[in-house]
Amino acid sequence: MTQVKANLSKNIHLGLDLRGGAHLVMQVQANDYIKSMTDKNVEVAKKTLNEKQLSFNDVKATGDPKTPIDITITVPDRSKNSDIISELNGQFGSGWKASEIGNTIVYKLDQTEQNSLRDRATDQAMQIIDNRINAFGVAESTIQRQGSNDQYEILLEMPGVDDLERVKATLNAESHLELDAVAKGTQIPYPTEEAARTAAGTQPGGPDNYEILPFHEKLVGDGFVIVEKTPVVTGLDLRDAQASSGQYGGENYQINFQLTPDGSKRFGDWTGAHIQDHLAIVLNKTVKSAPTIEARITDRGQITGSFTQTDAEDLALTLRSGTLLAKVVYLEERTVGASLGADSIRAGVTASVAGLLAVMAFMLWYYRLSGVNAVLALLLNLVLLLASLVVFGATLTLPGIAGVILTIGMAVDSNVLIFERIREEMRNGKVVASAVDLGFGKAFLTIIDTHVTTIVSAIFLFVFGTGLIRGFAVTLVVGLLANLFTAIFVSRTIFMWHLNRAARVETLSI
């Protein structure tokens, strides 16, 4: 018995409510992704129009103040509108439609493309969260979309997790890595932001082509650095990132990263053409260091700073798993303690065993020896149910245990239908063999009907329900399918075996 219990514990996955852990409901701020795409296209428009020497007064994001998704371009000469539209159509990508109103060109993002971008941000967030959870070593986690498609909500369940705050911080951690060119001839760093802005105004192309970022390096100090707005490479070009101890040992750690082949080529071309220039390593809009390019660099680099081991490992994880296209906020969170989960298991098992024993006692008392047939079929039903959970790797939850208990009741209900039919045929004067055959035959359609309708309902629960409801639906469906087999085939086989033992059976204990 001890070995059976150990095997069940080892092979059946327990859900969050039985094992303990964390439950999170998150919402992807999908509109943020559209806003970032709009802002990016604003910068692309300015750069393209400057390069093509097409005059313009202003380019800015307009529309909803919270989430501007239109781009408005004002020009001094409307005769050049067609040239501007022709140049920008190839730069903005699909979904952007231009309209002209006098000296104004307005680009709007098609609603279908907006929805596609929101879905992309949500799906990408699910993938990144899954990668980060797997890197944490959380086994049997559940991640899926929840609610209607326009809510962009994600459900995450992590059995066995006890440090919820660290997990939350890592899941939503920003990992925006950029390698930016430092403006030529500028100071590293400027002591104040105002001084940096003044210097940016003297740079070729004007201050709109540059960005002022805070600078923090332990050996140099704090300040501000002027970098070009268009990065050389970004976190999207990362292939790997790992934490390691610093060059001189001690408590400081660093992050070593590798670039993809495409990123390596662009990085190699840029560094090869900018020997003795400075490159800013920018993490989450803060310059961590600005080394001088001494030689052509291709696929490797380092991020140094005042990182502890935990900070470096968490940062390497977020960089490695990818950059979230949109921020994720938490709508609901709760934890289930391991002791509470153990109490739920004991209560569920106690209820199941009590229900099973009560049903077995009733069947043996009411149907006498035929009740043994029902008991054997019922026990086999439970064995098949547990075996199915193991084979398919299903997760057992507290509602799943409720599904097991309901299966017990429906299994007995099938036997009651069959046995009562057999009794009725025997009261009508049929011999035992004929009564058994007719009893199973007449009850067959009723049993199929009750089981199929319940299975269809359970399928709807699985398709539209969340994690716990799905657990109930899975055990119910598997239990009902097992019951069809045991009630129709196994019970009948036991009766046939009994009837074939003698040449003619005159009576049946039922």
- Final residue of a domain: which of 69, 94, 115? 115
Query: For the CA atoms of 350, 353, 355, 358, what is the dihedral angle to 10 degrees?
Result: -120
Provide the terminal-to-terminal Cα distance of the chain, rounded to the nearest Å.
Answer: 32
Whether this model's pTM surpasses 0.75 = no
Token pair of 20, please? 């303990």
The CATH code of the domain that includes 251 is 3.30.1360.200
- DSSP, residue by residue, 326-371: S-EEEEEEEEE-HHHHHHHHHHHHHHHHHHHHHHHHHHHHHHTHHH
Q: Are residues 454 and 389 both part of a single domain?
A: yes
Inside any domain, residue 135 = no
pLDDT, tens digit only, all 510 positions of the chain? 555 556 655 666 676 667 667 778 889 888 888 888 888 888 888 888 888 888 899 999 888 777 778 899 999 988 888 888 888 887 787 788 899 988 999 999 888 888 888 888 888 888 778 877 766 655 567 788 887 888 899 888 777 776 677 777 777 666 677 888 999 889 889 999 999 999 888 888 778 888 999 998 766 778 999 999 888 888 777 777 788 886 655 567 777 878 788 888 888 888 889 888 888 888 778 888 788 888 887 777 776 666 677 777 776 766 666 667 778 888 888 776 655 566 777 777 788 888 888 888 888 888 888 888 888 888 888 888 888 877 777 777 778 788 888 888 888 888 888 888 888 888 887 887 888 888 888 888 888 888 888 899 888 888 877 666 777 888 888 888 888 888 888 888 888 887 777 656 667 777
Which residues constitute the domain of residue 389? Answer: 337-500
Q: Quick check: helix, strand or coil at residue 75?
A: coil
Pairing outcome for strands 233-234 and 328-336: unpaired
The CATH code of the domain that includes 364 is 1.20.1640.10
The CATH code of the domain that includes 61 is 3.30.1360
Q: Are residues 292 and 370 both part of a single domain?
A: no
Q: Are residues 373 and 323 both part of a single domain?
A: no
Q: By the 8 A CB rule, do 309 and 253 touch?
A: yes
Q: Are residues 280 and 345 both part of a single domain?
A: no
Q: Are residues 346 and 494 both part of a single domain?
A: yes
